[in-house]
């Protein structure tokens, strides 16, 4: 690298440094101006009148009541359904228990009645067997007449 | 409350009047959001008022306030990164847009356009810097703070500040070099 090239390189670096310094200075000025404008801008503050505050409060209160009412109605409905289902289930259980008891009672009654019925049938058979010969007598006489002829 | 009594209202008002604009400017350049910068500036002075007793005068009030502002800004991004970063980004403007505020001075229209373009390039480079590099860069080149002041405000050593600054300037230089 000869001296001319060296000088050119140095000048180039110096130019770059100048441009950097210039850019940084301009950046600083821009940020300062931007900040000053933002800092001194007019600000609007919303002041709520007492009437508006009351209206807002009432609105919020009504909203809260509606939400609470809706939620409690849902809970109440759910509770009622649960109660109905519980009562229906209890009724069904009582009816089932009664049906089983009735069935058992019938079976027991039938078992108790069975010996008496057998005795009655035996008595009837005995009475009938005793009466049959007398009842069959005319038929026997007829048969004897036929044999004689 | 007891701490707050250690500085009089008038004295604190004077501190606010003296430093508020500079704190706001730093926060505005850092966040690029006017509303957020205003909120953080208010928080900064509120915190300063509450903790005035802990200010021992080892550094200037400005450096102490700047340290509070840097911490508030860090906390803000840490807290909001997950939940509201989209909202925050939507409010932030491009730092290069600051070029529109560049005073024309004695420049011709063409020179003004070129200057605005340079500001846009610097703004773009600054947006690409890491949080720490950006803080150091803005304190040095916008607030024109000394390295020792930057070190005290950021809690870094002067060597670390120099290293961050050097990297930041290299990136700005590269951005400006790429333009040509």
Measured in angstroms, the CA of A10 and the nearest CA of chain B are apart by 16
Probe site for chain A from B176, B177, B179 (most A CB atoms < 10 A): B176
**pLDDT > 90: what percent of chain B?**
53
Measured in angstroms, the CA of B101 and the nearest CA of chain A are apart by 5
Q: With contacts defined as CB-CB under 8 Å, which chain A residues touch B21? A: 35-36, 39
Confidence of residue B4 (pLDDT cuts 50, 70, 90): very low
Cβ–Cβ contact A24 with B under 8 A: yes
pLDDT of residue A72: 93
Cβ–Cβ contact A14 with B under 8 A: no
Cβ–Cβ contact A123 with B under 8 A: no
pLDDT of residue B102: 82
Task: Provide the 8-state DSSP code for B59.
Answer: S
What's the average model confidence in pLDDT over A82-93?
A: 94
pLDDT of residue B91: 66
B103 to A2, A25, A29, B90, B112: CA distances (angstroms): 43, 12, 7, 27, 9
Probe site for chain A from B22, B27, B31, B98 (most A CB atoms < 10 A): B98
Contact between A27 and B122 using a beta-carbon 8 Å cutoff: yes
Residue B177 to residue A20: CA distance in whole angstroms: 9
Measured in angstroms, the CA of A5 and the nearest CA of chain B are apart by 20
Confidence of residue B81 (pLDDT cuts 50, 70, 90): low
B72 neighbors B43 (Cβ within 8 angstroms): yes
pLDDT of residue B138: 95
Contact between B141 and A28 using a beta-carbon 8 Å cutoff: yes
Residue B180 to residue B176: CA distance in whole angstroms: 7
**A6 compared with A88, residue with greater pLDDT:** A88
Contact between B24 and A23 using a beta-carbon 8 Å cutoff: no
Burial of B26 (0-12, 13-18, 19+ CB in 10 A): buried
Probe site for chain B from A17, A22, A23 (most B CB atoms < 10 A): A23
Residue B64 to residue B57: CA distance in whole angstroms: 9
Nearest neighbour of B98 by CB, restricted to A16, A34, A41: A34
Cβ–Cβ contact A16 with B under 8 A: yes
List of E strands, A34-110? none
Q: With contacts defined as CB-CB under 8 Å, which chain A residues touch B121? A: 23
Residue A134 to residue A141: CA distance in whole angstroms: 11
Contact between A31 and B121 using a beta-carbon 8 Å cutoff: no
Q: Say yes or no to pLDDT of B44 above 80.
A: yes
Across chain B, mean pLDDT equals 86
Confidence of residue B3 (pLDDT cuts 50, 70, 90): very low
Q: pLDDT (tens digit, 9 = 90+) per residue, B117-129?
A: 999 999 999 999 9
Output the pTM of the full model.
Answer: 0.63
**pLDDT > 70: what percent of chain B?**
88
């Amino acid at each position: 690298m000869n001296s001319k090239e060296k000088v050119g390189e140095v000048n180039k670096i110096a130019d770059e440094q100048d441009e950097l310094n210039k850019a940084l200075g301009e950046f600083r000025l821009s940020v300062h101006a931007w900040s000053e404008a933002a800092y001194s801008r007019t600000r609007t503050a919303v002041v709520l009148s007492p009437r508006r505050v009351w209206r807002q409060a009432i609105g919020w209160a009504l909203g809260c009541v509606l939400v609470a009412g809706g939620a409690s109605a849902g809970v109440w409905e759910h509770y009622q359904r649960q109660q109905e289902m519980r009562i229906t289930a209890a009724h069904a259980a009582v009816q089932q228990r009664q049906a089983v008891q009735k069935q058992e009672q019938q079976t027991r009654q039938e078992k108790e009645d069975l010996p008496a019925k057998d005795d009655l049938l035996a008595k009837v058979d005995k009475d009938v067997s005793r009466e049959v010969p007398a009842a069959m007598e005319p038929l026997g006489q007829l048969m004897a007449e036929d044999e004689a002829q | 409350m007891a701490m707050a009594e250690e500085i009089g209202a008038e004295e604190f008002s004077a501190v606010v009047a003296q430093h508020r604009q500079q704190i706001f400017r730093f926060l505005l350049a850092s966040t690029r959001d006017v509303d957020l910068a205003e909120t953080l500036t208010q928080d900064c002075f509120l915190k300063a008022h509450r903790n005035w007793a802990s200010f021992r005068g080892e550094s200037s009030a400005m450096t102490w306030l700047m340290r509070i502002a840097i911490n508030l800004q860090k906390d803000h991004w840490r807290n909001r990164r997950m939940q509201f970063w989209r909202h925050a980004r939507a409010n932030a403007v491009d730092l290069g847009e600051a070029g529109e505020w560049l005073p024309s001075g004695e420049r011709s229209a063409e020179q003004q356009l070129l200057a605005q373009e340079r500001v846009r390039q610097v703004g773009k480079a600054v947006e690409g810097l890491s949080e720490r590099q950006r803080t150091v860069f803005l304190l040095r080149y916008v607030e024109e703070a000394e390295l020792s002041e930057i070190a005290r405000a950021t809690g870094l050593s002067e060597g670390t500040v120099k290293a961050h600054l050097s990297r930041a300037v290299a990136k700005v230089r590269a951005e400006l070099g790429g333009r040509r």
